[in-house]
Structure 1
Amino acid sequence: MSNETVSSNTLDKRSTVIAVIIIGAMFFIFGLVSWVNAILIPYFKIACELTHFESYFVAFAFYIAYLVMSVPSAFLLKRVGYKKGMMVGFFFMAAGALIFVPAALTRTYGIFLTGLFTIGTGLAILQSAANPYITIVGPIESAAKRMSIMGVCNKFAGIVSPLIFAAVVLKVSDSDMFTLLESGTLDEVAKNNMLDELIRRVILPYSVLSALLFAFGLFIRFSVLPEINPEHETKEEAASNNGKKSILDFPYLILGAFALFLHVGTQVVAIDTIIGYAGTMGMDLLEAKAFPSYTLTATIAGYLLGIILIPKYISQTNALRFCCTLGLFLSLGVILADYDVTILGHQSNLSIWFLASLGFPNSLIYAGIWPLSIKGLGRFTKIGSSLLIMGLCGNAIMPVLYGYLADVWDVQAAYWLLVPCYLYLIFFAVHGHKIKSWSPAK
């Protein structure tokens, strides 16, 4: 396969399969570096002595890059093409991982946040390329199916990344260390020495991660991954988009970007807060680290159902409506459930299992919103995709807002944040994606 640019509808079956496999590997890497935040948040909270609110700036610094860098990413991809752009994205991620070394040596939270923002910048570039790529590399009607396959790759990485981090960075004896640190009996010198030793454990794994990300960037650049032209317009799209001057002329895209903002925010709250929530039930970090994996396992189950059922047995739109509604009911379960249970060996409140179960409906919401929001954009596809990528900054805003509410109210009541989000998602799934004009008369 040559490296010349082709439109998506000219790709043969073999080229499409190759593209799906390579992009699937990319989504696996996205998951490795993204979902490790679930354990980085409580880890930094201990090692850098942070409040709930301060600790959730891990997610904020990481995901705010989507808001800041999505439009520059679109211009970069337009200038250098998708393959070179993806290489640049991986190089940014490698640089961000390397920044963890001076951050750990000085135990400076601000430098860690800089590294996370740099990793997020690389991901913004990669997501700006990968999401529209996988959406239009085949028929739009089966886009949710392909995105479900990407989701399996991403969430499987999410299951293993906190476990890998815990295996590499944490020790069996750390439970005693955490108890000692919380006791307040240590003098300042002994405590700082203990915290310095704890934080410096990230140096080796993040140095190795940096090298691997750099190498994968080079692989993408020289791989057989075909270039595509996502802004190729069919005759129908050209006729429909005649007279439209900007993405603001596509209401369903704007509404979809806000839906994506709320969805990814609810998803990251369900995953990145669950370890802290487990901690309020008497679990230490070594036990609680398993809960993000339970959430992501439920997500993978949803993806697999999507791969089987969409579009043969259920349309991606109906799947989206079902998942948004189920998400609302499970959120109410998180807030209202108050019953002690023992499940999978964990003594906990039933509400945390409602929280973990949110992974199931969340699986197909993203895959449903994206194709409904990008369909028919034609020459506006790149900038429209950038707007949707900006919506991913919900990952940055929502955890910080949750952390604030957890400090003001309590960690369970703060999950009321999820309810209005799912109500809006139901609106978009039922009606919002159909709105093609801002004028009620049309």
Structure 2
Amino acid sequence: MDATNHSNIRQSVSVIPMFIIGTLFFVFGFVTWLNGSLIPFLKIACELNHMEAYFVTMAFYIAYTVMALPMAFVLKRTGYKNGMMLGLLVMAIGSLIFIPAANERMFSIFLFGLFMLGTGLTILQTAANPYIVLLGPEESAAVRISIMGLLNKGAGVVAPIIFTAFILGNMGQFDENQLAALSDIERNIQLNELAQRLADPYLIMAATLVVLAIFIKLSPLPAMNSTEKKQDEKQHDDNDSIFAYPQLILGVVTLFLYVGVEVIAGDTIGLFGQELGVENFGQLTSYTMAFMVLAYIVGMFSIPRFIKQETALMLSAVLGLLLTFLIMITPKDSAVVWSSLIFWQEVGYLPDVVLYVALLGFANALVWPAVWPMALSGLGKHIETGSALLIMGISGGALLPLAYGALTEATSNSQSSYMVMLPCYLFILFYAVKGHKVRHWHKQSL
């Protein structure tokens, strides 16, 4: 009887943390992938150029670099559970900042609110990702992270649709050409009205995040730390520096480049589609996220049953390279592939080049769950710091979209600017084939 009870307890402890962390990953996705719809919205409301618009991603993702190591220190003091609660409260503060930003229509205040949201997510990500890795066997870690990714990207499908329904409705009066024809006073009245649309939704978001923080505090989430998975610690006791682990450092670079291309695929597609005359441009991020969800489902059923996570990472990089080339060379007015795919129903026109940007979601989906267990393998006592460094890699989402925006502004060609992704996918391919195997910083290792 006692043995049965213990077995039931172990089973419930496994399911409950997965459910709770899964809820948090849905929150990650919802808040993160609102940015794709927010960029074209703020470009109009705050009268921004291309490069200025992508400061939305800069402010949001740079928080991961600035705050990752400080938050790792905080987590060592608070533990994962209290750290998650703290992260949600910081995010609630960031959401509330959107209210004065909308009232004043000040882009700088919007950016500060985005930085606070990114800071809260930094705490949550630094706690939740290693928690999922530590929750079970290392060989199945990619599957657990894929489940979390499915929830994260599922939220990414929902968020732009909700944003479009409640905020981007009836946008005809805010066409940039029509606004340019108005007097300064009339244009400011119109744009102030547009910015005000953000106030109530972000107030609701803040309240929801506070409720979730209370839920986490009262939840039966068990304590978890890296001491539960330190089989390799003794052999690494003499390795005091985190930088002595090439698989980690190369993994950080890989995640930096991966998040950069992921954000470019998810957050530039709306503005790109708007330029090409796509009517539902505010929902285009949902297309990218839908392909990511599809890839996660494929990954959960195929890894490691049919292919290894290293192979999945290699295939992801190759597909990313192929799609990037197609984006660069496909005529903007071509819709042959799109028409062929949806011939059986009447769906709005979508240029093939925009479809290829969305398909990058399929190429990108399995990179994150594959890299995490590879990079953390064998770290022992350094796993918290290693996790923080990997979280810092998320800053790729701050810098690479900004580079894309700067290139677009300089060349006036947003399509060819996608070339910034080519070296990123090449490095991801290197990590999949060779980089994750390196264990010593010797010339012959590389």
When normalised by structure 2's length, the TM-score is 0.93
Equivalent of 2:415, from 392, 412, 433?
412
Equivalent residue runs for 1:81-96 within 5 Å? 81-96=79-94
> Which residue number in structure 2 is paired with residue 112 of structure 1?
110
CA contact (8 A) 1:340 1:347 kept: no
SS in 1 for 2:224: strand
Is 1:382 aligned with 2:379?
no
Pairing 1:322–2:315 present: yes
Aligned 8 A contact 1:181 1:191 in 2: no
CA apart distance, 1:348: 4.2
Q: How many Å apart are 1:365 and its aligned residue? A: 0.6
Q: Which residue of 1 aligns with 2:334?
A: 340
**1:390-435: CA deviation from partner (whole Å, max 9, x where unpaired):** 0000011111111001111210010000100000000000000011
**Number of the residue aligned with 1:280:** 275
8 Å Cα contact 2:154/2:289 also seen in 1: yes
Asked if residue 251 in structure 1 is aligned to residue 246 in structure 2, the reply is yes
In the other structure, the counterpart of 1:263 is: 258
Q: Quick check: 2:255–2:390 contact (8 Å CA) kept in 1? A: yes
Aligned counterpart, 1:187: 183
Residues 1:428 and 2:424 aligned together: no
Letter in 2 for 1:328: L
Secondary structure of 1:289's match? helix
Instruction: State the Cα RMSD in Å.
Output: 1.4
Q: Counterparts of 1:401 and 1:441 in 2: how far apart (Å)?
A: 33
Shift in Å, 1:346: 3.6
Does structure 1 residue 311 correspond to structure 2 residue 304? Answer: yes
| Structure 1 partner of 2:368 | 366
Letter in 2 for 1:258: V
Alignment of 1:8-23 (within 5 A): 12-23=10-21
User: How many aligned residue pairs are there?
Assistant: 427
Counterpart of 1:30 in structure 2 is 28
The one-letter amino acid paired with 2:144 is R
Letter in structure 2 aligned against 1:82: Y
Counterparts of 1:111 and 1:242, CA distance in 2:
46
Name which of structure 1's ranges 317-326 and 50-59 shifts more when overlaid on structure 2: 317-326
Shift of 1:176: 3.3
* Mapping 1:128-277, distance limit 5 Å: 128-172=126-170, 174-178=171-175, 181-182=178-179, 184-235=180-231, 237-277=232-272
- Deviation of the 1:233 alpha carbon: 4.8
Q: Does the aligned pair in 1 maintain the 2:256–2:394 contact within 8 Å? A: yes
Q: Distance in 2 between matches of 1:233 and 1:205?
A: 41
Distance 1:401 1:52 in 2: 11
SS of the aligned residue for 1:290 comes to helix
Tell me, yes or no, if structure 1 residue 72 matches structure 2 residue 65.
no
**What's the CA shift for 1:292?**
1.1
Q: For 1:280 and 1:334, locate their aligned partners in 2 and report how far apart those are by CA, in whole Å.
A: 15
Q: Tell me: CA distance 1:45–1:290, structure 2 relative to 1, closer, same or farther (3 Å).
A: same
Query: C-alpha distance in 2, partners of 1:318/1:130?
Result: 25
Q: Give the gaps of 5 or more residues in structure 1.
A: 1-10
Displacement of 1:319: 1.1
In the alignment, is the contact (CA less than 8 A) between 2:44 and 2:176 conserved in 1? no
Report the alpha carbon displacement of residue 441 of structure 1 after superposing the two structures with TM: 5.5
Deviation, structure 1 residue 168: 1.3
Residue type at the aligned position of 1:89: G
Distance 1:189 1:428, change over 3 A: same
Conservation of the 8 A alpha-carbon contact between 2:168 and 2:282: no
Distance, in Å, in 1 between the alignment partners of 2:334 and 2:312 is 32
Distance 1:413 1:347 in 2: 22
Is 2:283 the partner of 1:294? no
* 1:349 counterpart (344, 348, 351): 351
Structure 2: distance between partners of 1:266 and 1:405: 15
User: For residue 432 of structure 2, what is the amino acid of its counterpart?
Assistant: A
SS of 1:12 mapped into structure 2: helix
Cα separation, 2, equivalents of 1:55 and 1:399: 10
The residue type equivalent to 1:178 in the other structure is D
Amino acid at match of 1:196: N
SS in 2 for 1:227: coil
Alignment deviations for residues 327-377 of structure 1 (CA, whole Å, 9 cap, x no partner): 111111111112511545343432211111111121101111111001111
Local SS of the residue matching 2:365: helix
Following TM superposition, by how much is the alpha carbon of 1:324 offset from its aligned partner in structure 2, in angstroms?
1.2
Q: Which moved more, 1:422-431 or 1:217-226?
A: 217-226
Percent identity over the alignment? Answer: 43
Shift of 1:216: 0.5
Question: Which shifted more, 162-171 or 68-77?
Answer: 162-171
Deviation at 1:181, TM superposition (A): 3.6
CA distance in 2, matches of 1:263, 1:240: 31
Measured in 2, the distance between the counterparts of 1:334 and 1:55 equals: 21
What CA distance in whole angstroms lies between the structure 2 residues aligned with 1:21 and 1:311? 22
Contact kept, 8 Å, 1:156 with 1:297, in 2: the verdict is yes
Contact 1:232 1:378 in 2 (8 A): no
